[in-house]
Structure 1
Amino acid sequence: MLFISILFLIMVMAIPSLKGRVPPILFQRLSTIILIYAGALSLNALYIQSIGSGIGIYSGLFHVTLISQFIEIFIYIIGSAILIARALPVYVKITETLKKEFSYKYSIEYSLLIMFSTIGASLLISSSNLISMYLSIELQSFAVYILSTLYRNSESATSAGLKYFLLGSLASCFILLGSGLIYTFSGLTNLESIYNLISVSQSSNIIQGIALGFIFIFAGFLLKVAAAPLHNWAPDVYDDSPTLVTIWLTIMPKISILIFILEVFTQITSVSPILESIEISLVLGSLEGMQGLGINTIKYLLLISSLFSLIIGTVVGLAQIRIKRLLAYSTISHIGFILLALAINSKQSIDSFIFYIIQYTLTNLNTFLILLAIGYILNNKTIYKKGVLIATNIGKDIKYISEFKGIFFSNPILSISLTICLLSMAGTPPLLGFFSKQFVLYSAIESGYYFMSISGILVSIISASYYLRIIRILHTEIDLNKSLNDMGEVPASLPDIQSSGQGNSHLTNTKVGISNIHSLTISSLTLLILFFIFKPSILLKSTQLLSLSIFTN
């Protein structure tokens, strides 16, 4: 469905008679409808009776299971919500010249790249072969690389895209190296066959090579999801990319990669208990005799990465003054909780793993949608010289936390919505984020991971400080006289102010509001986060069924 739709959109873009005549907003709406329809088709596929044990398609390259179908539907819904946020803001007293100058001239390419990345994500979560896995992750990654550099006139966006491309290529090299090692020692590319070989093989050399290959693959995926200590690229890329691109970077690639890691890790550990007593030596160059536990090394890799992510994401986040860098470190901290739930690998922990991913996605999506809306409303100045538009910053991204000062007094609804999202990220009861952290920590304590549990509790308390700092700034009244004297410009909270400038130029504030669909999406997500406690059964039962489906297959 998605592949045919992408071909159709490319064909429409290539027709000379239609080039430049089809409004970009039409491509955005059409792409949104396509994603919603694809989600409906995936939902209908859940009624297939034999899907519980999984269905192999395309000669075993892909394996459709209950969890892959559920997450695929979730990806399509989130993708359509992000595309809806691309809608143009509503203007009052705005000229046609300003509309042309506004930075939304890449809507066609944006929608197309979102479609490419979505199809790569949906293929990755169903991959059951090393070849299909690598092609799917590259299809998703290449679209995101281009998406990062979509605003070609922005120097920071170009820098972010280049950094993301180089480090993403390094991660792909790790994945390819691991795949090559597995094929060298097993002669297989089908993951199911590799699992069977692990369970019956008596050769420590084969197990050693396969384990080393999976370690490289997992390291590559951890680099792609910005798990510490492989996180250094994330704050720079998130901060330099436009907010519309950052939404996609911080949500969609992580969902597909984490679900794929879940499927591979649970399958490996299900066939590896008989190998726990086998000690193997990893021969790396001249280093011989290094003792390890083979397949179990992956579990320790996840636990170490989880601990580093919790600590670094929390401690370094305290010193941030730029909002997207702070949210990047917040994301790293959340990845730490997700990896902890995955490493425990019990029915309850996998349940909390899936629930945390859903909670993280909804909360982050709502937070960035609110940042977009605040950017539309605050940054609404246009500069005219002799009646000609020479500059505009409508839609310019929010960069610094200090820019939130006084938002509550100019727009209390958006301020309250952002406050709810931040409190949910901090794990404040009874919001959605509290339950996700509670489930992870409870499963860790139940499985005997007391040190990790204590670490998770401490970093949750510490991280609440930088969320509360943003909330304090939101509800701090702005001093208009100080803004006029110290900053030398008209504050955005004063509508319709003009100030004379040198050379017959003047600065004008243009009234800007967000679209109805954008506001509806924000309000719906905020109410879901706020009132989850009153009807939690639907989501909780769904995640429990998905967790059970993994362990019963």
Structure 2
Amino acid sequence: MDLDTLLSFHWSVMLPEFIILGVATLLSVIDLFMKKESSRKPLAWLAGAGVLAALISIFMQLDIEVTSILYDTYRLDSFSKAFKILLLLGTLLVIVLSSNYKKEDLEENRGEFYYLLLAALLGAMMMASSADLITLFVGLELLSLSSYVMAGLERRNKRSNESAFKYIVSGGIATAITLFGMSYIFGLTGETNLFKIAENMGNLELLEHSFLIVFAFIITFAGLTFKIAAAPLHMWAPDVYEGAPVPVTAFLSVVSKTAGFVILLRVIIICFIAAPGIDKEPILLQVQPYVMVLAAATMIIGNVTALRQRNIKRMFAYSSIAQAGYILVPFVSNSSLVFELIWFYLLAYLFMNIGAFTVIQLLSSQEGSTDIGIFRGLFRRSPWLAVPMTFFVLSLAGIPITAGFIGKFGIFMGALGLDPAHYWLAAVMMATTLVSYVYYFNIIAIMFFRDSEGSKVSIPGGMAAVLAFCTASILILGVMPDLALDFFYGNFDVNEFFMQIETEVHTHDH
């Protein structure tokens, strides 16, 4: 590639990525030359400023039409812009949490944490804009490798060491499975570009190998579900969530999970939308039972196992697994509604989960424990923590007037609105939601109806701002969901994604 070709690309579409890359590089250089005893707090402000600048640049790009550069390996479209907003907003809130995280053994690595966090964010953002299997995989590995290191940053904590070890071993296995599935996709189509794969999947010659197409789908889908902690590749989540520092746990539960759904949507919807299954039936219809069983198993395992957890971080790990099961339900529909349903639910999940982890961080740092007993009598000693936590838990449970209810209701009605309607999947969703009330409401009961233990909890300004922002967001979206949905429909063309595929396939045919 010569210089003229390089200069001909519209590099401005990658402005958010360039900002994150530049700030991460700057952080690593500054941290290298800072004295060991110096406070790393300025690095948090710089990292937060970089993420905020990238977020603003995304909003400035909302009016830009679909643009692809680097031979269609990077693509700025409605899909990428919508999910990058979630990724950047989640990371910004995590940075506020991490700047107030008090752990002596993390202080040594505080600077390292911030540029690893931005590196992971950069990988997730590249996944959102990738239109090629290779760049998708590079983004996935950048996110994964940074996450492995962040999970083990508390080097003197044996649980943190154990979580990092389990994470990297299980992550390596999932990566191998994903690559195995992608190798079949490449072998069948001879392409790595997602749109060219979609074109070649409709080739009549592939009808002779329809079994291999189904096999490639199942293997790739199974490998990618590791990132969202869906069954059966979910067992890493409880140990990693428990052992990792709280800000890292919050990042994995929100940003990393969002990135997991991004790559699932990118690969599965684009690559297999025109692919034939066995007996010439469309593969996305043929594999519906497989996805339904996966979603149902994830919902059941997550909610039932959470009932017996005493460690609050493990409980939220199983809650996160269950939430992944709910978000998998729209994959069964194969309609354009899949994007807004998943986007809205992930937006609501971002606020309620980061808000809950903010409270957990404040309590666990003061009490020196992550046992559920740290919530005893919280309303009497710190009502400004108990009330927001109540709203976060109610939203996770899907109680009306919260964003979580609107998200679950949309997914539930989406499952019933199909032809034929998936009644049993909707029934599993409703039954497991009722099961989740037991452990969610138990937290509320402990806060309001148990004797007070411990002293009043002091809330730093940054943490108070996160709590107020997350609480207001889930209540506003619960009462007025049109605010988010109007923004989504006004700025992101839900049909653009499918039109891109049709246009690209039509172009290549000629």
Length-normalised TM-score, structure 1:
0.82
The yes-or-no answer on 1:124 pairing with 2:86 is no
Partner of 2:312: 323
Change (3 A) 1:210 1:275: closer
The yes-or-no answer on 1:313 pairing with 2:302 is yes
Partner of 2:32: 14
Contact 2:355-2:471 at 8 Å conserved across structures: yes
The yes-or-no answer on 1:304 pairing with 2:281 is no
In the TM superposition, 1:364-513 aligns within 5 A as 364-376=353-365, 378-379=366-367, 396=368, 398-447=369-418, 448-478=421-451, 492-493=454-455, 513=458
Contact 1:39-1:73 at 8 Å conserved across structures: yes
The AA in structure 2 aligned to 1:344 is S
Contact 2:326-2:429 at 8 Å conserved across structures: yes
Corresponding residue to 2:218 among 215, 218, 227: 215
The AA in structure 2 aligned to 1:124 is M
Corresponding residue to 1:267 among 260, 265, 270: 270
Partner of 2:5: none
The alignment-based identity, stated in percent, is: 25
Return the structure number with greater helix share: 2
Unpaired runs of 5+ residues, structure 2, are: 1-17, 501-510
Q: Deviations over 1:122-164 (max 9, x none)?
A: 0011111111111110110000000000010000000000000
Deviates more, 1:350-359 or 1:447-456: 350-359
Partner of 1:64: 76
Change (3 A) 1:297 1:253: farther
Q: Deviations over 1:226-251 (max 9, x none)?
A: 10122112112111222122111111
In the TM superposition, 1:168-247 aligns within 5 A as 168-247=171-250
2-side partners of 1:131 and 1:331: how far apart? 29
Contact 1:40-1:73 at 8 Å conserved across structures: no
Contact 2:401-2:479 at 8 Å conserved across structures: no
Give the drift of 1:263.
2.7
Corresponding residue to 1:538 among 477, 483, 489: 483
SS of the counterpart of 2:202?
helix
1-side partners of 2:252 and 2:311: how far apart? 17
Change (3 A) 1:326 1:546: farther
Q: Deviations over 1:170-201 (max 9, x none)?
A: 01001111122222222211111110001233
Partner of 2:45: 29
Q: Deviations over 1:17-37 (max 9, x none)?
A: x44375301111101101111
* RMSD of aligned residue pairs (Cα, Å): 2.2
1-side partners of 2:483 and 2:61: how far apart? 19
SS of the counterpart of 1:475?
helix
Corresponding residue to 1:156 among 159, 164, 169: 159
Deviates more, 1:256-265 or 1:423-432: 256-265
SS of the counterpart of 1:153?
coil
Corresponding residue to 2:111 among 105, 108, 111: 108
Return the structure number with greater strand share: 1
The yes-or-no answer on 1:82 pairing with 2:94 is yes
Contact 1:61-1:129 at 8 Å conserved across structures: yes
2-side partners of 1:305 and 1:191: how far apart? 24
SS of the counterpart of 1:224?
coil
State the structure with more CA Rg.
Answer: 1
Length-normalised TM-score, structure 2:
0.88
Deviates more, 1:251-260 or 1:178-187: 178-187
Aligned length: 478
2-side partners of 1:476 and 1:328: how far apart? 25
Change (3 A) 1:103 1:295: closer
Change (3 A) 1:298 1:375: same
Deviates more, 1:320-329 or 1:211-220: 211-220
